[in-house]
Amino acid sequence: MTNGPDSGQLYAAWDFDHPRVYMLEDSYVNNNGLLHSGPQFSSDEDDRKFATFDGKNQYAEAPASIADFGQLTVDMAVNWSGGNSQRLFDFGTGNDECFYLNIADAEGKPSLVAVHDGKTYRLGASETVPTNRWAVVRVELNSSNASICLDGKQIAQGPFPFRPRDVFIGDRPEGNFIACGRNKTDFFKGSIDHFRVYRTTHKNFDAIGKPDPNLQQLAADWVKRQAEAQKKINENSPFKNFPNESAKLNRRREQLLNTSDKLTELNERQRTAAARKSEIDRQMQEQFNKLESTTTTNKEIAEIRQTINTINHELRQSGQYAAAGLEIEELNKTIRQVDQEIRQSDDIVALLEQSKSQEQKKREIEQSVRELPELKKALEAHQNEKDNTKRDELRRKYDSMYQEKLATSVEHSTAETMRREFQDRHRTTIDKRLESNLQWTAARDKLRVLQQKHPKLLEKARADHPELSKLEKTLRLKQQTFEEAKQEYLKNEPRRGPTGDEYEKLVGELDAVSRAIPEERARLLKVNEKELSKIGARLYEMGYQRKMWRYDGMYLPMKEAGLGRNPLHNQKEPPIVSLHEKIEYKTSADWEYRTSQELGNKVPPIMQQWLDRVRGY
């Protein structure tokens, strides 16, 4: 990780604070791995959160580069259930190239073992790890010595001429296991509260303190650096004035196509004629509604509809349809209860509050921008302007200034990015919890089946009723006859009464204007063809240049600066599973060591091939 808090060169911190199905979630950065066979997540009365492994087939698999260092510290908080031949971890590339910690050897005490280049190194402890209570076990390797500590007390120390990175040989895939051995044996039985890996050793480990597990804050810091780089690139962009120029050109094009004295006159004639015609149509509608035949027909339709509604109500309240409806109601109630319980869990509520906090921060920044003297002056000018055309222009100027200020605000872009981040985490966390809840998924699946079946039950009940189809047919015919009579009345009556001549003139006026307006716009297009052509060409040119610059001037510099994509963004479990299934060879973390080997021509040919492959050559 670059340019961020380091917490004593911490590399990964699996704190098991949030239940996961597949993902071994790194609470520090994004060294996420895999969980196998579903270890159980829980918490105790002290609100300590942990994962419990059954000692049979449950274990975790860490990423490839997790121990590829010259020095290493592994710090673990465990609650061991007891037993023999159990490994807390086993890192390496095979039985002949690995190192592991056995929590209880033949003497019942922890031992550190490393196998490399045909040699075996062993360090045994003087005390046993307690059972059925929490204990902190720490292993440190500095390439010449190793030690084992229990609850801060050193219980083993001695020569150990072994470097962890030496077992990561380039021609073999890595296998880094937690809570079992690499042959899927020696399973650990007990709970793990945290499992942390540091890429060095420390003279005073306790002095470095607990690592900051706030991945969201680390992501926020990264977003801020990205926003600052983006701002700098935008400030040097040759196209930063394109939005204003584009807006002016579009307004000018609109003006050329829609502005002339004749077009203004035609639009006013159309508006006046349409308003008067609508008034006459409304009066005719009111007259039709007062007719005796209309009142009688409406009453008959209402009586038939009431009878149909009564029958439908009776059908819905009886038989299989009613029983299925009650079952659907109970299933929905169960789904809502589970959903509410999950949404009220502390971590999900915290994510929602964090999202709201970022939203509030964003609004405060927006308000502070509005309070800037130049913005207040521009808004006041807009509000005091009497001429509508100038008033609209001043408003556009104000909006442009406001958006430009927001676009250059690192704090605003950071707040908005983090708001979306927390919102996304809130939604995806709820979805994962729901999908892993057996009560919720069972209710949902059963509800889907019933919802598909339910309408068919009502259709069958309606089809079996002797009078319902006849009543519905009668209703349709009566409504159709009534609608035809109304349309006939509204079409002809305005032309028969005292408004007949006026109505005919209005219809003719609207017809003439509707033909004249397109003709005038076609004339404007022809008259202003040269200027419109220049505007179109300039808009196309700007669009093309901005499109190319997004890659050459924006994407490439951001990528070269290492800010193309946020590596701290929460990764989803299915892509991680897919990634682990597809990738056989993975990159090494200790690039300084590997590079120095290359510069000194000390890299074995097979390692060089591997390095070339992982670099994409």
For residue 593, pLDDT beyond 70: no
Residue 176 lies in a domain: yes
Query: How much is the pLDDT for 612?
Result: 58
- Residue predicted with more confidence, 303 or 223: 303
DSSP for 85-119 reads: S-EEEEEEEETTEEEEEESS-TTSS-EEEEEETTE
Confidence of residue 304 (pLDDT cuts 50, 70, 90): very high
pLDDT at 221: 67
Residue 576's pLDDT is what? 38
Would the pLDDT of 212 be above 50?
A: no
Q: Which domain holds residue 407?
A: 320-465
Per-residue pLDDT for 317 more than 50? yes
534 falls within a domain: no
Averaged pLDDT for residues 248-258: 91
Looking at residue 367, what is its pLDDT? 94
Report the share of the chain in percent with pLDDT over 70: 86
Phi, psi of 21 (to 5 degrees): -90, -50
pLDDT one-digit tens code per residue, 414-423 = 888 788 888 8
Assess if residue 304 is contained within a domain.
no
Clarify whether residues 18 and 156 are in a common domain.
yes
The pLDDT, as a whole number, for residue 238 is 73
43-57, 407-421, 556-570: segment of lowest average pLDDT: 556-570
Whole-angstrom Cα distance, residue 191 to residue 139?
A: 18
The residue with greater pLDDT, 343 or 556, is 343
| 146 domain residue, yes or no | yes
> Does residue 273 belong to any structural domain of this protein?
no
| Of 3-17, 287-301, 429-443, 582-596, minimum mean pLDDT range | 582-596
Show the tokens assigned to 76. Answer: 């673990």
Tell whether 440 and 325 lie within a shared domain. Answer: yes
- Is there a domain that residue 271 lies in? no
Distance CA 156, CA 446 (A): 58
Q: Is pLDDT of 581 > 50?
A: no
Average the pLDDT over 427-434 and give the result: 89
Q: What is the mean pLDDT of residues 341-352?
A: 89
> Residues 574-580: what's their mean pLDDT?
40
Instruction: Specify if 560 maps to a domain.
Output: no
In terms of Cα–Cα distance, which of 164, 70, 18, 143 is closest to 570?
A: 18
For the segment 528-555, the average pLDDT, to the nearest whole number, is 85
pLDDT at 598: 56
More confident residue, 69 or 9: 69
pLDDT tens column, 456-475: 998 988 888 889 999 999 99
Overall average pLDDT of the 388-410 stretch: 85
Average pLDDT (244-255) is: 89
- Has residue 579 got a pLDDT over 80? no
For 118-177, the DSSP string reads: TEEEEEE-SSPPPBSSEEEEEEEE-SSEEEEEETTEEEEEEE----GGGG--TTS---EE
In this model, does residue 487 exceed pLDDT 50?
A: yes
Question: What pLDDT score does 227 carry?
Answer: 74
Residue by residue, DSSP assigns 22-34 as: SEE--SSSS--EE
Domain closes at, from 465, 486, 509: 465
Question: What is the spatial distance between Cα 532 and Cα 106, in angstroms, rounded to a whole number?
Answer: 89
For 55-65, what is the mean pLDDT?
91
Query: Which range, of 189-193, 442-446, 555-559, 566-570, averages the lowest pLDDT?
Result: 566-570
- Number of domains into which the chain is organized: 3
Judged against a pLDDT cut of 50, whether residue 572 lies above it is answered with no
Taking the chain, what is the end-to-end CA distance rounded to the nearest angstrom?
24
Q: How sure is the predictor about 370, in pLDDT bands with cuts at 50, 70 and 90?
A: very high
**In a shared domain, residues 52 and 178:** yes
**pLDDT above 80 for 479:** yes
**Among 213, 228, 248, which residue terminates a domain?**
213
Give residue 610's pLDDT band: very low, low, confident or very high (50, 70, 90): low
Question: Backbone dihedral region of 514: left (phi > 0), alpha (psi from -120 to 50 degrees) or beta?
Answer: alpha
* Same domain assignment for residues 65 and 190: yes
Task: Provide the pLDDT for residue 584.
Answer: 36
Q: What is the largest CA-CA distance in the chain?
A: 115
The better pLDDT of the pair 240, 344 is held by 344
Give the Cα separation of 527 and 262 in Å (integer): 14
Question: In this predicted structure, which of 9-18, 129-138, 269-278, 557-566 has the lowest mean pLDDT?
Answer: 557-566
Opening angle at CA 570, ends 564 and 573, nearest 5: 120
Question: For position 64, what pLDDT does the model report?
Answer: 82
Contact assessment for residue 453 and residue 324, using Cβ atoms and an 8 Å cutoff:
yes
Nearest one of 177, 185, 114, 182 to 148, comparing CA atoms? 114
Q: What is the CATH number of the domain that holds 120?
A: 2.60.120.200
pLDDT at 6 over 70: no
136-159: per-residue pLDDT in tens? Answer: 999 999 999 999 999 999 999 999
Exposure of 229 by Cβ count < 10 A (0-12 exposed, 13-18 middle, 19+ buried)?
middle
Task: Among 213, 229, 246, give the residue marking a domain's end.
Answer: 213
Do 15 and 148 lie in one domain? The reply is: yes
Residue 1 within a domain? no
Check residues 4 and 83 and name the one with the higher pLDDT: 83
Average pLDDT over residues 553-562: 67
